[in-house]
Amino acid sequence: MSKKIRLGAFLPGGGQHVAAWRHPDSKADGAVSIEYYTELAKTAERGLFDAYFLADGLAANFGGNVSVGVSDKGAGFEPVTLFSAISAATKNIGFIATASTTYEAPYQLARKFASLDHISHGRAGWNLVTSAGDATAKNFGLEHQLDHADRYEKANEFVDVVKKLWDSWEDDAIIADKASGQYFDPSKVHEPHHKGKHYSVAGALNVPRAPQGYPVIVQAGQSEPGKEIAARTAEVVFTAQQSFEDAKAFYSDLKGRLAKYGRNPDELKIMPGVSVFVAETEEEAKAKYQQLSDLILPEAGLALLAGLSGGEVDLSQYDLDGPFPELPKTQGIVSRQQMMVDIAKKHNFTIRQLYQWVAGARGHWTIIGTPTQVVDQLQYWFENGAADGFNVLPPVLPLSLNDFVDLVIPELQRRGLFRTEYEGKTLRENLGLARPENQYVKKEKQAKAA
């Protein structure tokens, strides 16, 4: 398969922009409408996107701010449940759901995602997160979140346990021989009997091996522990980069870490986030951007900045039009908080200017222009070592998704940068990722060859 741009569609019910729900063309109750989510999935599939991606949190993230909409996870569906329903209405697009290694059990998570992979016929992906914020911790019996390093230490063991569980049934373990009455071959079912520092899991999983072997493993952390777990385990990485230089440095750094884990660069797809305001003319595109900026209420902007630092920073005590303050280090979303500080320093932004800048895409790259201008920039990043593809964050839904599908996709296809039809039936096949061999089968082969 020739090298093509990979595209994810990050589609929360109301759109990505903090003021998206106030836009006259948005659906105010989109966060709790299965019909609406299904419509979005069908539009993304019409655009031949690789996957529909959803972030997720485990707390009502509004902090008393009544202006926070669905795009800030104030309310919405649990993504695996949602994707199980939507998958029945689609055929090709993958579904990448976020789930926490800190607040879920490995057995529970492995079972849930294996089930989604079966239900969707091989189109599931797991976005591995460690979950920041004291608000979330308090929903699970803790006073404070775990330290950043501790969360990632647990996450590394967690993903190993999940893989053991996904492999506990070999692909051909189920015989279902009605004549003999034998349903499965017990020699091909493996109990992990994992006993580690953080987890003790007997197994085996009570779901047969998934169609993809493993659902595609996705990760989005940019801290040192985040990059290390990505290099060891992830197959897709979503990243927030503001410039080509930063994106290229991140791409080179992360790809360069793979060799020590016995992996090659093609085993990991790096997909920076991008928010696109596109129209037939540059003036129309700029007007779309300005319309949304004018809808941002100050309390929503401050809540956005607080959320991006793990909910630990209160900026309401500062002058909105004064300089962005030095922030104390927290245990929250470390890499994203640092990005906020760096953006403010680079542009000499006030607090108000900073939240207007990041409101559309939470610190991800933003492009405003015509289809040609947009694709020129995407192509440059793709062809010059900064990206394998992009996670598209439409500012307003469904309007911005339709704009991207109707204006940007045809230009990508015209230049031979993007598919004109899906290459396979599973998410792995469409991403160009190999199906993992069962680890127990692999060990048996190695033992026989020794």
pLDDT at 25 over 70: yes
pLDDT at 181 over 60: yes
Q: If you average pLDDT over residues 176-194, what whole number do you get?
A: 96
Predicted confidence band of residue 306 (pLDDT cuts 50, 70, 90) = confident
pLDDT at 329 over 90: no
Report the half-sphere exposure of 423 (CA within 13 A, side-chain side).
17
Q: 346-384: per-residue pLDDT in tens? A: 888 888 888 887 776 777 899 999 999 999 999 999 999
* Per-residue model confidence (pLDDT) at position 73: 47
pLDDT at 205 over 90: yes
Strand runs (DSSP E) across 76-123, as ranges? 94-100
Q: 395-444: per-residue pLDDT in tens? A: 999 999 999 999 999 999 999 999 999 999 999 999 999 999 999 999 99
pLDDT at 176 over 90: yes
Lowest mean pLDDT across 132-141, 164-173, 414-423: 132-141
Helix then strand then coil, % of the chain, to nearest 5? 40, 15, 45
Which amino acid is located at 413 in the chain?
Q
pLDDT at 307 over 80: no
Q: If you average pLDDT over residues 248-264, what whole number do you get?
A: 97
pLDDT at 220 over 80: yes
pLDDT at 392 over 90: yes
Q: If you average pLDDT over residues 236-242, what whole number do you get?
A: 93
pLDDT at 385 over 60: yes
pLDDT at 139 over 90: yes
Percent of the chain past pLDDT 70, that is, above it, reads 92
Q: 33-89: per-residue pLDDT in tens? A: 999 999 999 999 999 999 999 999 898 865 555 555 444 445 689 999 999 999 999
* Per-residue model confidence (pLDDT) at position 71: 43
Predicted confidence band of residue 19 (pLDDT cuts 50, 70, 90) = confident
* Per-residue model confidence (pLDDT) at position 296: 86
Q: Give the C-alpha separation, 242 to 354, whole Å.
A: 13
Q: 100-119: per-residue pLDDT in tens? A: 999 999 999 999 999 999 99
Cis peptide before 204 (omega within 30 of 0): yes
* Per-residue model confidence (pLDDT) at position 311: 53
pLDDT at 336 over 70: no
Return mean pLDDT, the chain: 91
pTM confidence score:
0.90
* Per-residue model confidence (pLDDT) at position 22: 87
pLDDT at 200 over 80: yes
CA angle at 254 for the pair 252 and 257, rounded to the nearest 5°:
105
Give the best-scoring range by mean pLDDT among 7-16, 22-31, 185-194, 348-357: 185-194
* Per-residue model confidence (pLDDT) at position 343: 80
3-state secondary structure the chain: CCCCCEEEEECCCCCCCCCHHHCCCCCCCHHHCHHHHHHHHHHHHHCCCCEEEECCCCCCCCCCCCCCCHHHCCCCCCHHHHHHHHHCCCCCCEEEEEEECCCCCHHHHHHHHHHHHHHCCCCEEEEEECCCCHHHHHCCCCCCCCCHHHHHHHHHHHHHHHHHHHCCECCCCEEEECCCCEEECHHHECCCCEECCCCEECCCCCCCCECCECCEEEECCCCHHHHHHHHHHCCEEEECCCCHHHHHHHHHHHHHCCHHHCCCHHHCEEEEEEEEEECCCHHHHHHHHHHHHCCCCHHHHHHHHHHHCCCCCCCCCCCCCCECCCCCCCCCCHHHHHHHHHHHHHHCCEHHHHHHHHCCCCCCEEEEECHHHHHHHHHHHHHCCCCCEEEECCCCCCHHHHHHHHHHHHHHHHCCCCCCCCCCCCHHHHHCCCCCCCHHHHHHHHHHHC
* Per-residue model confidence (pLDDT) at position 381: 98
